[in-house]
Amino acid sequence: MNNKQRVLRLKIVMLGDGAVGKTSIVQRYMGLGFRPVYLMTIGANFYAREITYYDEKFGKLHVTLVVWDLAGQPRFNEVRNQYYKGAKLAIIVFDVSKRETLKSVKKWANEFWNNVKEKFPIILVGNKIDLRESADTVSHEEGINLARELSEELGFEVPYVEASAKTGENINDIFNKAVELALRWAVAKSYKGKVS
Ligand code: G3D
Ligand code: MG
């Protein structure tokens, strides 16, 4: 591959039940630090961050990550269209300390695929691993199993990342994986396996 620098813009949507930590993950990644106050606002916020990414196939890439984060789930219907428009990847978050949030993951995946009208890639995130000590937490294996089921449904790998927006553990990993996955998906889609 040549050394020409390429530019990529990637819109990502954050999905998952209320209070699983979507906003905290984005803010942590965007550098605002962990904010322990839950501010319930209406509509969707977006955040942008530019990163340099090195890819074996494409070389050096300048990537603008545009991350949309929904606030105020009750009014989601009103912003749904704008929220999903142009999104190429979803980060679906559940809370490892709240089992019911794991059960909603497939609903969120289908919501994403139905709205973007294409089976774009997703990343599954088990957040709040700093609360692992508390009772009835979702195990690593359960997260892996769900990611495997989603992968089968999608026909493309769904990575599973365990993270904590509180400690910052694996937060960068989520977004690095997002870029990697979007690139792999684009290559697989355009060349249909004919990539050398
Ligand atoms: P949401 O955007 O998915 O609705 P938020 O979720 O990011 O607003 O987070 C909901 C609550 O979970 C917040 O607590 C937030 O501080 C907390 N939280 C988010 N991520 C983590 C984490 O990794 N570990 C722990 N222990 N807490 C986390 P409050 O009390 O402000 O409602
Ligand atoms: Mg939020």
Q: pLDDT tens across 47-90, in order?
A: 888 899 888 888 889 999 989 888 755 567 777 888 899 999 99
Ligand 1 proximity of 18 Cβ (cutoff 6 Å) = yes
Q: pLDDT at residue 114 above 50? A: yes
Ligand 1 proximity of 164 Cβ (cutoff 6 Å) = yes
Q: pLDDT at residue 113 above 80? A: yes
Q: pLDDT at residue 4 above 80? A: no
Q: Is residue 136 part of a domain?
A: yes
The residue whose CA is least distant from atom 25 of ligand 1 is 128
* Separation between Cα atoms, residue 41 and residue 169, nearest integer Å: 26
Task: Check: CB of residue 20 under 8 Å from CB of residue 95.
Answer: yes
Ligand nearest to the CA of 130: 1
What average pLDDT does the chain have?
Answer: 86
Q: How far does the centroid of ligand 1 lie from the alpha carbon of residue 185, in Å?
A: 30
Q: Is residue 35 part of a domain?
A: yes
Indicate which CATH number applies to the domain containing 155: 3.40.50.300
Find the mean pLDDT for residues 31-40: 49
Q: Is residue 112 part of a domain?
A: yes
Instruction: Please identify every residue whose CB atom is under 5 Å from ligand 2, which is an ion.
Output: 22-23
Q: pLDDT at residue 159 above 60? A: yes
Q: Within 10 A of 177 (CB to CB), how many other CB atoms are there?
A: 19
The domain tally of the chain equals 1
Q: pLDDT at residue 37 above 50? A: no
Ligand 1 proximity of 148 Cβ (cutoff 6 Å) = no
Q: Is residue 113 part of a domain?
A: yes
The residue whose CA is least distant from atom 32 of ligand 1 is 38
Q: pLDDT at residue 26 above 80? A: yes
Q: How far does the centroid of ligand 1 lie from the alpha carbon of residue 71, in Å?
A: 13
Q: How far is CA 40 from CA 1, 44, 80, in A?
A: 47, 11, 17
Q: pLDDT at residue 152 above 50? A: yes
Q: Is residue 154 part of a domain?
A: yes
Q: Is residue 196 part of a domain?
A: no
Q: Is residue 169 part of a domain?
A: yes
Residue 108: give the domain boundaries.
6-191
Q: pLDDT at residue 103 above 80? A: yes
Q: pLDDT at residue 39 above 70? A: no
Amino acid letter, 63: V
Which has more confidence, 3 or 19?
19
Ligand 1 proximity of 127 Cβ (cutoff 6 Å) = yes
- Give the global pTM: 0.90
Ligand nearest to the CA of 38: 1
